[in-house]
Structure 1
Amino acid sequence: MDVDVFVAVHRGEWTRLDELSRRRAKLTGPEVDELVTLYRRTATHLSLVRSAAPDPVLVGHLSSLVARARSAVTAPRGTAWRDALLFLTTRFPAAVYRTRRWWITTAVVSILVATLIGAWVAANPSVQASIAAPDEIRELTRPGGDFETYYDSNPASSFAAQVMTNNAWVAAGSLALGVLLGLPTLFILFQNAANIGVSGGLMAAAGRFDVFLGLITPHGLLELTAVFVAAGTGLRLGWTVIDPGPRTRGRALAEEGRIALGMALGLALVLVVSGVIEAFVTPSGLPTWGRIGIGVAAEAAFLTYVFVLGRRAAAVGETGDMASSDLADELPSVG
């Protein structure tokens, strides 16, 4: 092999590969294809030079070039912070907004069920007696009783961790188990509504419903919204099993499952906020109006986030799913 002739013939390709490798973050689609082609070709050139004319200078140059090109072709994208920002500002709010009919309906029905159960418990002493012994009910509902001391029974940081873990399990269960036709999600929702209704009914029967609202509202608004969003998403996932629409059932479940997983991550952050409020604001010495005001502000901020950023993102076609470039290629299907 004449090394000088070989270099003269292929120098342009090597120069182009070096240029593309150095600005890999700004390449267009065709340029990425060109980068891959030139990388493979130059790797072949390196192999030929090593076997036929092992010139140390040329081997060193091509080895360095191939290594840099390999890094440009195979290295993971350095966009973790950009992806996280995109998720928080676009994908998550779009996914929540997109499922709004499901979780708003879930919220309305759940609140109605909790209200009916609470009214039934408050108006019927026989029902109260079936729930707990009179002494236990008095201990729960009296001033300074179990219902009030529950929120400061442990150090705030420990209580916050406990609350966040419990709420995360409830939300995750409501969401993930929705794939079983939504039946477990409905059970979790009813159980949650029943617990709220029974507590509220017992406090109302003791003439302390205002205390109940003062303790539940600060953290409950945001916490219940997160649970309703998770449950609504779970029910939507269950409906996808029944009616996948124009997509195949497998593809529909894959798409909705990816979106649900992303929503679970976003809702975990929402539950962190509600857990902090429950641990530090609810049992604090702030006046009732101040504690409720913090809860209302947190809820308003979340709803604004969803209905402003989410609506804007959904309007341009964002669904909350992963970017198409991050997904594996699929074979086309018919029907």
Structure 2
Amino acid sequence: FGVVTIYVLVSYGIIIGTITGYLISQGHGETFLSFVISHGAFELTAIAIAGGAGLMLGNAVLHPGQRTRLENLQVQGREAVQIAGGAVVMLMIAALIEAFWSPAAIPVYVKFTVGGVLWLLVALYLSVVGREVIYGSEVLVTDETETQS
């Protein structure tokens, strides 16, 4: 019911935080952070999104509303699979960046600049895509679903 999802997310956060803290304390912060900043925009966001999809499943069972728990799990499960699919695409992008860009002998300031731009692009994308815009009594949906009056 979401407990495993929360456990995995917290564990991952502790591991990454511990490694980051250790490397910074040993004087390797700039090297490590310049390596992870670019692919981290996609990888860390994908992990959070996948965690959200997992929590959707737990919430579907705990709060079925007017549906049976199984019906709600099926409905929410379809949406969670689509969301997780988007996270998989983000992980593939992160893998390409991590394989070819992150280890490249590029000046640190360039890696930090590109990484910052990638974080901004991911944030911009997530703040725009799939949002509903409400004007008066109309709901204009920004994805493929129909406009309601």
Shared fold (TM-score, shorter chain, > 0.5): yes
Distance 2:27 2:121 in 1: 32
Q: Does the 8 Å CA contact 1:182/1:234 hold for their aligned counterparts?
A: yes
Shift of 1:246: 3.1
Structure 2 partner of 1:218: 38
Q: TM-score, normalised on structure 1?
A: 0.38
Shift of 1:301: 2.3
Distance 2:45 2:130 in 1: 16
Shift of 1:224: 0.3
**Among the aligned pairs, what percent are the same residue?**
32
Answer with 283-292 or 302-311: which moved more: 302-311
Q: State whether structure 2 residue 110 is matched by structure 1 residue 287.
A: no
Aligned length: 142
Q: State whether structure 2 residue 117 is matched by structure 1 residue 308.
A: no
Structure 1 partner of 2:81: 261
Q: State whether structure 2 residue 12 is matched by structure 1 residue 208.
A: no
RMSD, matched Cα = 2.6
What amino acid sits opposite 2:113 in the alignment? G
Q: State whether structure 2 residue 8 is matched by structure 1 residue 192.
A: no
Q: Does the 8 Å CA contact 2:46/2:91 hold for their aligned counterparts?
A: yes
Look up the SS of the partner of 1:310 in the other structure: coil
What amino acid sits opposite 2:30 in the alignment? D
Q: State whether structure 2 residue 82 is matched by structure 1 residue 270.
A: no
Q: Which has the higher helix share?
A: 1
Distance 1:319 1:182 in 2: 28
Structure 2 partner of 1:182: 2
Structure 1: stretches of 5+ with no match in the other structure:
1-180, 324-335
Structure 2: stretches of 5+ with no match in the other structure:
none
Look up the SS of the partner of 2:49 in the other structure: helix
Distance 1:208 1:188 in 2: 27
Q: Does the 8 Å CA contact 2:131/2:142 hold for their aligned counterparts?
A: no
Distance 1:310 1:296, change over 3 A: farther
Distance 1:184 1:320, change over 3 A: farther
Shift of 1:230: 0.7
Look up the SS of the partner of 1:194 in the other structure: helix
Structure 2 partner of 1:240: 60
Shift of 1:245: 2.2
Distance 1:228 1:273, change over 3 A: same
Shift of 1:283: 0.6
Look up the SS of the partner of 1:262 in the other structure: helix
